[in-house]
Chains A and B, each alone.
Chain A
Amino acid sequence: MNVIDIILLIMIAAAVGAAVRKCISDRKNGRRCCGNCSCCDKCTKM
């Protein structure tokens, strides 16, 4: 493995780590919806 390999591995690990943290924090904050806020609000129109 050379330096570039190590850098790439670190970047991939960081990206995956950020993704995992996002999924966990979304669950913790109760963010269940798809992010389509207006759609959720519209659903109360009927």
Chain B
Amino acid sequence: MTLKDIKIGETAKVEKLCGEGALRQHFLDMGVLPGTEITVVKYAPMGDPIELRLHGYELTLRLDDAEKIEVAKVDKSTSKEDKKSGKKKIAHPGLGEGGKFHPKGTGKALPEDTVLTFALIGNQNCGKTTLFNRLTGSKQHVGNFPGVTVDRKDGAIKGYPNTMITDLPGIYSMSPYTSEEIVSRNFVLNNKPHAIINIIDATNIERNLYLTMQLLEMDIPMVVALNMMDELTSNGGSVDINTMEMLLGVPVVPISAAKNSGIDELVEHALHVAKYQEKPLNQDFCDKTSNGGAVHRCMHSMEHLIEDHAEKSGLPLRFAASKVIEGDPLILKQLAIDENEEELTDHIVLQLEKERGLDRSAAIADMRFSFILRLCEQAVTKPKESKEHIRSRRIDTFLTGKYTAIPAFIGIMALVFWLTFNVIGAFLQGLFEKGVDELTEITDKALTNGNVNSAIHSLIIDGIFAGIGSVLSFLPIIVTLFFFLSLLEDSGYIARVAFFMDKLLRKIGLSGRSIVPMLIGFGCSVPAIMATRTLPSERDRKMTILLTPFMSCTAKLPIYAFFVSTFFPGRGALIMIGLYLLGIITGIIVACVYKSTLFRGEPVPFVMELPNYRMPSAGNVVQLLWEKAKDFLQKAFSVILIATVAVWFLQSFDTHLNMVDDAENSILARVASLFEPLMDPLGLGDWRVIVSLFSGFMAKESVVSTMEILFGDEIKMYMSTLAAACMLVFSLLYTPCVAAVASVKRELGTKWAIVIVIWQCVIAWFAALALRLICTMIGVG
């Protein structure tokens, strides 16, 4: 019997995990190993994937992958999940505090002027971002990990300028399943931070501790931050911190990042272990007595065998040994053991597998989880079911229900767009526009009174103010849309969307996880393209990146709003929704083409955690909106300013650098006129339209500012309604902005970046032409 055969509400115990490779290792790292009890919670509305409960958290899995897990049904009444843990009181070990390893004021402290570096590591959904924001405040710096396409966040701990904490991507283990896991591992091994701050979700301790154990093996000073303690305790749970500290051998500090409690104590402990380089006391988690000590003997044999290689390559011994046993190819390569030793390692592992009755990876995973279960039995009192989980279950009955999931999703997205374009965003935009108009008028009067040169007057009012002003007024709409998208993602709803959209997305050759970058793409293509890094399959990643431009980003909103207000007043919502739908439908058609041509093959397996629904922290949301607004303003006063001045210059001067009375004689007109024959069939053969579209390559918002400069208020005289509609369709689908193309270049290389620019323009051209032909045939416009 396999997991696929288990019905909703039934519990089964894993007997065998079939399959192979990185996916199988990922299953093991997520806790799906022989002996684990799994309960089937529900099926997605379309029957696939399924939601499972194990080790106190929810995981989703496709039926095809569930078929690889052999199980036996268990009686729920004997299920381990219901057992309460016992605990005995022990004295506080006092790790990470003065007086334990050495009396206060003594010990081999690092020099006073050393910049203490920390790595912040934890699972996804454990509150890492919130903790990082608490520790560093607004003093963060965004950069890149060298050589790989993962952004890093650094910051000094508030009040301690001689520190630097690096926020690493959320990961489940140190196995090379995704690029994030490799990046985090390499950062710890190569950058050698002075200490690690490992953040754990206290409401999901078992799964989170799996990563902790691997971090302990790295033999770097470490502090465990037990987050969300407020949630655990409010549901009747508790953790015996002293026992946990004693068993793990590192300081354990209970905190609540959301409520800002325990942070000072965490900082104190982290600084102490870093300064005095207090390494973990325990690394030997294999039980000598368990299963004849097979894993214990294997581990120690391996450590002795590779000791010299580990030292030579600078790898922590225990970590290297466990990875060799797991068959990690990257570590094996780094150790560079010789042929004889390789043969010996194979025999050691074979003996382990024979004695233990499990394959190598399962044996190591089982060793870790056995320790974790022993620890939890002694130190953790779990509530039966938390309030948050009960609430999530109730909400999911509607939001992921068989007949309600998709209508709810459509309703929520429609509500988001309506509130953004028609209510909140529109109101704030009106205020902004008024302010910009007033400022323009005042400046115009001042320049006239000051007898400013007409060229400079024109540059300031018709160029800079018109251009930047028209773009700035869209800031409220962009920020509002970003607010709602972040709310949906932070609350945990987007994970559910990925769950029930998986089967649908598989029809176009993708997995449910691709919905996340696509939804982010409605905000901005750049983070959407970067969000594809979490997709484990290169094929899925490439395909999702190529489809992201079809999700109309917020930067295009000013273009739509401009044309809608001028040519289609009163039909704003309809046209906007129509455009978004057109983008999605075109994307689906193109995806189907990709599926049968460039990207043949099956989409990546779908293994994903479903976190509880959470109210996003107001502080995080405000910071995020401020960052978005700040970036938009920076873009307005940098890229768009340059574009505005450049356009003004090129359209005000001819090739002999004389100012022109008629812009049609300008440099800009001459260059743009070369493309007129190409755009004539679409009704967009005016050089000013072409120039505006070109400026959109720098920043989409520039299209409107450029049109304002070149057409003024007279655009209706030069453009028909049908041409305006074609312009909308062309703007929707043509090349993304230079920032997005640069992201594509970084992720996929220059060739794909060029392909995406040309391909999008071709699709946009044909789509606009099709619209024009259809409207002409039916006599519209």
Binding site for B on A (CB under 8 A): 1-2, 4-5, 8-9, 12, 15-16, 18-20, 22-23, 27, 29-46
Contact = CB atoms under 8 A, between A and B. Distances in A.
A44 B180 contact: yes
B604 interface: no
A19 B641 contact: yes
Contact of A22 (B144, B523, B638): B638
B650 interface: no
Contact of B451 (A2, A32, A37, A46): A2
Nearest to B745: A32
Given A9-B456, A30-B144, A45-B170, A35 B530 contact: no
Nearest to A18: B638
Interface in B83-101: none
A41 B628 contact: no
A42 B456 contact: no
A34 B486 CA distance: 15
Contacts of A20: 642
A39 B520 contact: yes
Contact of A43 (B142, B456, B517, B624): B517
B124 A46 contact: yes
Contacts of B124: 44-46
A36 B489 contact: no
Contacts of A38: 129, 486, 620, 623-624, 627
Contact of A5 (B456, B489, B533): B456
B750 interface: no
The interface residues of chain B, by DSSP majority, are classed as: helix
B450 interface: yes
B631 A36 contact: yes
Interface in B456-510: 456, 459-460, 464, 482, 486, 489-490, 494-495, 498
A27 B741 CA distance: 13
B523 A39 contact: yes
B527 interface: yes
B142 A12 contact: no
Given A15-B641, A19-B641, A35-B631, 15 more contacts: A1-B453, A12-B459, A15-B637, A19-B642, A23-B638, A32-B743, A33-B526, A35-B627, A38-B623, A41-B169, A43-B531, A45-B125, A45-B534, A46-B124, A46-B495
30 contacts: A5-B452, A5-B456, A12-B456, A18-B638, A19-B637, A19-B638, A20-B642, A31-B143, A32-B530, A32-B739, A34-B524, A34-B527, A34-B628, A35-B627, A35-B628, A36-B482, A36-B628, A37-B142, A37-B627, A38-B624, A38-B627, A39-B524, A40-B142, A40-B151, A42-B486, A43-B517, A44-B124, A44-B180, A45-B125, A45-B495
B701 interface: no
A30 to B, nearest CB: 4
Nearest to B459: A12
Contacts of B533: 43-44
B153 interface: yes
Interface string B175-210: 000001000000000000000000000000000000
B526 A46 contact: no
Contacts of B642: 16, 19-20, 23
B613 to A, nearest CB: 14
Contact of A44 (B144, B170, B486, B624): B170
A11 B338 CA distance: 67
A8 B456 contact: yes
B705 to A, nearest CB: 14
A34 B639 CA distance: 13
Nearest to B698: A23
A31 to B, nearest CB: 6
A30 B628 contact: no
Contacts of A46: 124, 494-495, 498, 513, 516, 531, 534, 608
A23 B645 CA distance: 15
B490 A12 contact: no
A39 B451 contact: no
Nearest to A27: B742
Nearest to A20: B642
B179 to A, nearest CB: 10
B144 A36 contact: no
A42 B132 CA distance: 13
B153 A41 contact: yes
B162 interface: no
Nearest to B450: A4
Contacts of B742: 27, 32
B600 interface: no
B451 A23 contact: no
Contacts of A27: 742
Contacts of A39: 486, 520, 523-524, 527, 624
B630 interface: yes
Contacts of B125: 45
Nearest to A44: B169
A5 B523 CA distance: 41
Contacts of B144: 30, 32
Nearest to B142: A37
A36 B624 contact: yes
Contacts of B170: 41, 44-45
Contacts of B450: 4
A12 B64 CA distance: 63
B233 interface: no
Given A5-B453, A43-B520, A37 B140 contact: yes
Contacts of B153: 37, 41
A23 B737 CA distance: 14
Nearest to A9: B456
A2 B132 CA distance: 53
Nearest to B180: A44
Given A5-B456, A45-B124, A40 B527 contact: yes
A6 to B, nearest CB: 9
B404 interface: no
